[in-house]
Amino acid sequence: MTKAVLDTNVLVSSLLASGPPAAIMDLVANGKVVTFYTGVILEEYYDVLSREKFGFSTLQVIRLINDIVRTGIALDDKPASTIALTDEDDRIFYDAAVEAKAYLITGNIRHFPPAAFVVAPAQFLNIYRSL
Count of domains observed in the chain: 1
Would you tell me how many other CB atoms lie within 10 Å of the CB of residue 106? 24
Q: pLDDT in tens for each of the 131 residues of the chain?
A: 899 999 999 999 999 999 999 999 999 999 999 999 999 999 999 999 999 999 999 999 999 999 999 999 999 988 678 888 888 899 999 999 999 999 999 999 999 999 999 999 999 999 999 98
Spell out the SS3 assignment of the chain: CEEEEECHHHHHHHHHCCCHHHHHHHHHHCCCEEEEECHHHHHHHHHHHCCCCCCCCHHHHHHHHHHHHHHCEECCCCCCCCCCCCCHHHHHHHHHHHHHCCEEECCCHHHCCCCCCEECHHHHHHHHHHC
The Cα diameter of the chain in Å comes to: 39
> 16: domain CATH number?
3.40.50.1010
One-letter amino acid at 84 equals: A
In sequence order, what are the residues at sequence separation of 6 or more whose Cβ sits closer than 8 angstroms to the Cβ of residue 109? 118, 119, 120
Q: Looking at the whole model, is its pTM more than 0.85?
A: yes
Query: Exposed (0-12), middle (13-18) or buried (19+): which is 5, by Cβ within 10 Å?
Result: buried
Range of the domain at 79: 2-130
